[in-house]
């Protein structure tokens, strides 16, 4: 590796066993200010700043006492919740193993498993103030298929939110390709007072991800 230019940008040379694509990824990581900031501030991923920025804009965590984190791995969002609301009950779920987080109950399970909603509800011990979803389906390289698979997860998360949120609660979910489709937006508008889209600054400009923010839960759609 070398630093070039007055800005101190790190440049990575393609070495033995390293592909050009992996070299580009490594160089992007090393030069990403959010990656450096996450490391300095103790967050497990740069994604933590997406939630921080969304919370600053929409006050998602204000007064939250019970929070569900769908797709918790590696744990950056749960870390933010614990920092902002240190006394909140936080329950997360993911297919991938997640290192323990103080004060967070983590379920190692596919959210689409039939037992997942019941286990999450039991672990939370009461209605949720906020349901967060940073889930995305494993990509297959076909844009339309990847979008449909991820939207299926988002819709399932929205239905679950309708079962566990308290009146006035909030739902946040990652969507792809510019936002939620019309059917999901219609469902959310029946369930929530306001439904908006946002792309936080921490979300890379070349990424297709957006977030849908639904607030003021009225009841199941």
- For the full predicted model, state whether its pTM sits above 0.85: no
Measure the CA–CA gap between 44 and 75, rounded to whole angstroms.
Answer: 6
Question: Range of 16's domain?
Answer: 2-31
Whether residue 54 is found in the same domain as residue 114: yes
Number of domains in the chain: 2
Given a cut of 60, whether residue 159 has pLDDT beyond it is yes
Whether residue 21 is found in the same domain as residue 69: no
Distances (CA, A) of 61 to 46, 66, 90, 118: 19, 10, 12, 23
Q: Is 94 part of any domain?
A: yes
Whether residue 105 is found in the same domain as residue 213: yes
Q: Is 39 part of any domain?
A: no
Whether residue 120 is found in the same domain as residue 203: yes
Measure the CA–CA gap between 134 and 171, rounded to whole angstroms.
Answer: 11
Instruction: Report the CATH number that the domain containing residue 141 is assigned in CATH.
Output: 3.40.50.150
pLDDT of residue 126: 96
Measure the CA–CA gap between 145 and 74, rounded to whole angstroms.
Answer: 25
| Catalytic status, residue 174 | yes
Measure the CA–CA gap between 166 and 127, rounded to whole angstroms.
Answer: 5
Average pLDDT over residues 158-171: 98
Whether residue 152 is found in the same domain as residue 190: yes
Burial label, 27 (beta-carbon count in 10 A; 0-12, 13-18, 19+): middle
Q: Is 38 part of any domain?
A: no
Whether residue 16 is found in the same domain as residue 120: no
Average pLDDT over all residues of the chain: 86
Whether residue 50 is found in the same domain as residue 13: no
Known binding-site positions for S-adenosyl-L-methionine: 75, 77, 94, 110, 134
Q: Is 40 part of any domain?
A: no
Q: Using 50, 70 and 90 to split pLDDT, how confident is the model at 16?
A: low
Whether residue 64 is found in the same domain as residue 157: yes
Whether residue 73 is found in the same domain as residue 25: no
pLDDT of residue 14: 54
Residue 16's CB is within 10 A of a number of other CB atoms, namely 4
Least confident of 16-20, 71-75, 204-208: 16-20
Whether residue 69 is found in the same domain as residue 159: yes
More reliable by pLDDT, 207 or 133: 133
Pick the catalytic residue from 13, 83, 174, 196: 174
Given a cut of 70, whether residue 20 has pLDDT beyond it is no
Q: Is 37 part of any domain?
A: no
Measure the CA–CA gap between 108 and 114, rounded to whole angstroms.
Answer: 14
Least confident of 71-75, 100-104, 144-148, 187-191: 144-148
Whether residue 195 is found in the same domain as residue 97: yes
pLDDT, tens digit, for every residue of 79-132?
Answer: 999 999 999 999 999 999 999 999 999 999 999 999 999 999 999 999 999 999
Q: Which of 133, 98, 93 is nearest to 113 (CA)?
A: 93
Given a cut of 70, whether residue 29 has pLDDT beyond it is no
pLDDT of residue 27: 52
Q: Is 143 part of any domain?
A: yes
Q: Is 171 part of any domain?
A: yes
pLDDT of residue 151: 86
The secondary structure of the chain, three-state, reads CEEECCCCEEECCCCCCCCHHHHHHHHHHHCCHHHHHHHHHCCCCCCHHHHHHHHHHHCCCCCCCEEEEECCCCCHHHHHHHHHCCCCEEEEEECCCCCCCCCEEEEECCCCCCCHHHHHHHHHCCCEEEEEECCCCCCCCCHHHHHHHHHHHHHHHHHHHHHHEEEEEEEEEEECCCCCCHHHHHHHHHHEEEEEEECCCCCCCCCCCEEEEEEEECCCC
Q: Is 203 part of any domain?
A: yes
Burial label, 127 (beta-carbon count in 10 A; 0-12, 13-18, 19+): middle
Average pLDDT over residues 36-41: 81
Whether residue 8 is found in the same domain as residue 103: no
């Amino acid at each position: 590796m070398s630093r070039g230019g007055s800005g101190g940008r790190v440049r990575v040379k393609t070495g033995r066993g390293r592909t050009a694509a992996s070299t580009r990824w490594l160089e992007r990581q090393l030069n990403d200010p959010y990656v450096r900031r996450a490391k300095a501030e103790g967050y497990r991923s740069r994604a933590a700043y997406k939630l921080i920025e969304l919370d600053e804009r929409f006050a998602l965590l204000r007064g939250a006492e019970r929070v569900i984190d769908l797709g918790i791995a590696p744990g950056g969002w749960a870390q933010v919740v614990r920092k902002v609301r240190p006394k909140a009950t936080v329950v997360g779920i993911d297919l991938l193993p997640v290192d323990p987080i103080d004060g967070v109950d983590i379920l190692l399970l596919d959210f689409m498993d039939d037992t997942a909603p019941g286990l999450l509800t039991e672990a939370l011990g009461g209605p949720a103030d906020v349901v967060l979803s940073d889930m995305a389906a494993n990509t297959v390289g076909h844009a339309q298929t990847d979008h449909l698979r991820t939207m299926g997860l988002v819709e399932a998360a929205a239905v679950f939110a309708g079962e566990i949120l308290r009146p006035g609660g909030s739902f946040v979910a990652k969507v792809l390709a510019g936002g939620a489709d019309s059917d999901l937006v219609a469902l959310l508008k029946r369930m929530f007072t306001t439904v908006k889209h946002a792309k936080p600054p921490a979300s890379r400009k070349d990424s297709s991800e957006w977030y849908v923010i639904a607030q003021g839960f009225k009841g199941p759609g």
